[in-house]
Amino acid sequence: MVNVRSMIALYAGKFSKQVLKLINSSGTALPGKLALRIDNNFLDNIEEKCDTVIMVTGTNGKTTTNNLLNHVIGTRTDKILSNLKGANMIQGIATTYVNNTKDHYDYGIFEVDEGTLRSVTRYVKPDYILVSNFFRDQLDRFGEIDNLVEDVYTTIEKLPESTLILNVDDPLVNKFTQLPNKIIKFGLDLDLDEVQNSSLSMKNCPLCEGKLQYSSHVYGHFGNYECDKCGFKRPNPDFVVSNLEEKASSQMITIDYGDEELVFEYPYTGIYNAYNVLGVFTVCKQLGLSDDEIVSAMGDFSFHLGRMEEMEYKGKIIKVILTKNPIGLTQVINMISNDERSKTVVHILNDNPADGEDISWIWDAYTICEREETVLHYYCSGIRAEDIALKKKYDNVPLDKIKINDNFKEIIDTAIEDDVEIVYVLPTYTAVFETRDYIENVVKSN
Amino acid sequence: MELNIYHLYPEHLNLYGDLGNVNCLKRRCLERGIEVNVVNFTDDEKPDLNDGDIFFIGGGSDRAQQLVYKDFLQYKDVLKELIEEGRAVLAVCGGYQLLGTSFIDKQGNNIPGLSILDYESKYTGDKRIIGNIIIETTLNLEPNKLVGFENHGARTYSKYQPLGNVLVGRGNNDDDMKEGIVYKNYIGTYLHGPVLPKNPHLADHLILQALRNKYGDVESLEPLDDEIENKAYEKFIKLYGK
């Protein structure tokens, strides 16, 4: 069905994209915003064009999961429509459609901001929704995590046809198993016994006022829990990681499902990536991909867009990792702690609206690396450079290792000349693109 | 010298990095050779409140605050007496609301507070107040500004001395440009940040009052190396001050 208003909206969007290109701006939201202004049902087109629609939502891991899903499913078909660059608000998703070039897509794969799921699913009904986790993230935008979970829950209540792929290690996600939808559960049967930071863990049952007792613990509020009052507990997952071996630059994972047990290795680290891998594996099995297809595709996935991206400069590695909330930052610091190489760590902390204007979240993270002797410097930069430096001080980092400069270019110029094997650069959301682009330029011009 | 810092319900009231306030008090005592015991007052453990020299209570989700309300009802008279006596208390955001006569739940209904002090927080139908805030404090502090981040739905109305007059931001409500309250050595405020690491002069004020309560005439506190603290404070005022 050709809808004239929708066509005009599409071409207006495309035109604005050309203009943006001329003025050398990447603008991921504007073309979509314009199209939605002209035709507020513009997103209806997506459902019409895509056979199968998958949405990924939750606090952490959306962009990585989306990119990994694209990569694995991409071995089967090139007809995929997706917002790979992390523009996950309604305008960003509309822009994805503005940019589309094909008449038909086998898959539409979208990461959708938790606060945006309601408005997007008004137009596009997903066949699958992967809910990864709920952590404190930019509370100044959402108010409170309870409200956010409630909002996603009541949104999905209106989508009874969608199959839910749920990380049941998170009690807040497990709550969604109460819905009548078809449900596939995934989780990690691991006890990592890390120090439990009280502010990162949730101890109350999401259904009643009872307390959650953990028999094992992965990180944050992930683990094997049971409510001492109503009996709400983590169910046995359909897809489960039964073993995980962390290596210097890879992980060896064991996934059990049905009667199958599968062991394979992929070149990325960090426990949170085991969740991303398992989530993607679970989705791909629903789509009918074979174990071999999934495993071989996962082995050659490379991160980009500042999510674990690596670049080389004068024989050392520069690794850019987005860190935007306490659990993410803590997990990245854990990963860096496992790295025995000599290193320098660069924090770039911004407080623009998209980062969350309230930077108090850094106080809920641990920022000190173990193997302190392998860290040469902690550089603190970004608009709120001094604040991350203050947190470092409170985490008992030796003061002579802390260097403050709010100009991120100057600090990167200095940091990459440090005599170390690896430079970790940890920008917040609004810093990630310009940081990686700046480093790429420096690396290339060398 | 030795101080007992009581942290009320850290398992429930732990939003916005406010644990940093307790760390700050502890750190600034230890650096001066003052011994510190951080004592958690929780659902399961109820140490004697009379032994506390400084009390901290933070904010949590609506659900968490209601749990704390129920659990603390039977202890409220003890805390009330201690406040009257002049013990040092810092209550932030949800904790601040909780000690007053009323606050609000998720749906915006007014629900009773612990009524330890006579101020009320209520729902007005207006949008949540969210943003950076700078106040000029009524306490005799040097410097005389306090900086932080406010994030609250309810509006608070009180006849007490405010903690400060709002220079940037909103404060207690939409009407009087006042922020927080001061009653004897009780300080209630909406300032997150966390407020004490960002405003070490306010942390030292609480420590000094607590020491005076316990040990009589303590003149002043030994100055500390606050180079990074001062840089963060000055940066805030440069970015968000008028």
Domain coordinates in residue numbering, chain B = 2-240
Domain span holding position A350: 307-444
Beta bridge mates, A404: A380
User: What's A207's domain CATH number?
Assistant: 3.40.1190.10
Chain A residues within 8 A of B23 when measuring between CB atoms: 394
pLDDT the model gives residue A364: 84
Greater pLDDT, B106 or A163: A163
Lowest-confidence region among A273-287, A386-400, B93-107, B191-205? B93-107
Spell out the residues 6+ positions from residue B209 whose beta carbon is closer than 8 angstroms to its own: B86, B88, B185
Contact B15 A198 (CB under 8 A): no
B17–A contact, CB cutoff 8 A: yes
Give CA–CA dist A63/B144, Å, rounded.
45
Q: Nearest-CA residue of chain B relative to A380?
A: B228
- DSSP codes joined into one string, A72-113: HHTTT-S-EEE-TT---SHHHHHHHHHT---S-EEEEEEE--
Our answer to whether residue B201 is catalytic in this structure is no
Contact A199 B17 (CB under 8 A): yes
B182–A contact, CB cutoff 8 A: no
pLDDT the model gives residue A194: 56
Cα torsion angle, B17, B21, B27, B30, sign:
negative
| C-alpha dist (Å) from residue A85 to A29, A249, A283 | 11, 24, 20
Beta bridge mates, A253: A244, A264
pLDDT the model gives residue A155: 96
Q: Which of A259, A278, A299 is the last residue of a domain?
A: A299
A200 within domain boundaries? yes
- How many structural domains comprise chain A? 2
Give CA–CA dist A386/A381, Å, rounded.
8
Residue A418: alpha-carbon gap to chain centroid: 29
Residue A35 scores a pLDDT above 50: yes
pLDDT tens digits along A108-118: 999 999 989 99
With residue A386 as reference, give the H or E element that holds it.
helix A385-394
User: What's A322's domain CATH number?
Assistant: 3.90.190.20
Judgement on whether residues A336 and A285 belong to the same structural domain of the protein: no
| Residue A170, amino acid | D
Q: What is residue B33's three-state secondary structure?
A: coil
The minimum CA-CA distance between A204 and chain B, rounded to whole Å, is 9
Lowest-confidence region among A16-20, A284-288, A422-426, A437-441? A16-20
Judgement on whether residues A268 and A346 belong to the same structural domain of the protein: no
Cα torsion angle, A262, A266, A268, A273, sign:
negative
Chain B residues within 8 A of A139 when measuring between CB atoms: 15-16, 151
A180 within domain boundaries? yes
A45 within domain boundaries? no
Judgement on whether residues A269 and A344 belong to the same structural domain of the protein: no
Residue of A136, A147, A211 lying closest to B106 (CB–CB): A147
A48 within domain boundaries? no
Residue B18: alpha-carbon gap to chain centroid: 9
**CB distance A345 to A402 below 8 Å:** no
Mean pLDDT of A19-46: 74
Give CA–CA dist B69/B21, Å, rounded.
21
Spell out the residues 6+ positions from residue B127 whose beta carbon is closer than 8 angstroms to its own: none
Residue A179 scores a pLDDT above 50: yes
Q: Which of A239, A269, A299 is the last residue of a domain?
A: A299
State percent of chain A over pLDDT 90. 54
pLDDT the model gives residue B12: 84
For B2-240, which CATH class? alpha beta
Residue A198 scores a pLDDT above 70: no
By CB neighbour count within 10 A (0-12 exposed, 13-18 middle, 19+ buried), where does B125 fall?
A: exposed
pLDDT tens digits along A130-145: 999 998 765 544 457 7
B232–A contact, CB cutoff 8 A: yes
Q: What is residue A141's three-state secondary structure?
A: helix
Best residue in B12, B16, B41, B230 to probe A by mutation, most A CBs within 10 Å?
B16
Per-residue pLDDT of chain B (242 residues; tens, 9 = 90+): 999 999 999 988 877 778 899 999 999 999 999 999 999 999 889 999 999 999 999 988 777 888 899 999 999 999 999 999 999 999 999 999 999 999 887 777 888 999 999 999 998 888 889 999 999 999 999 999 999 999 998 999 999 999 999 999 999 999 999 999 999 999 999 999 999 999 999 999 999 999 999 999 888 999 999 999 999 999 999 999 97
Judgement on whether residues A311 and A279 belong to the same structural domain of the protein: no
Catalytic-labelled residue, pool B93, B152, B201, B205: B93
B41–A contact, CB cutoff 8 A: no
**CB distance A66 to A93 below 8 Å:** no
Q: Which of A239, A274, A299 is the last residue of a domain?
A: A299
Lowest-confidence region among A98-102, A265-269, A355-359, A434-438? A98-102
Judgement on whether residues A164 and A276 belong to the same structural domain of the protein: yes
Our answer to whether residue B205 is catalytic in this structure is no
The minimum CA-CA distance between A145 and chain B, rounded to whole Å, is 8
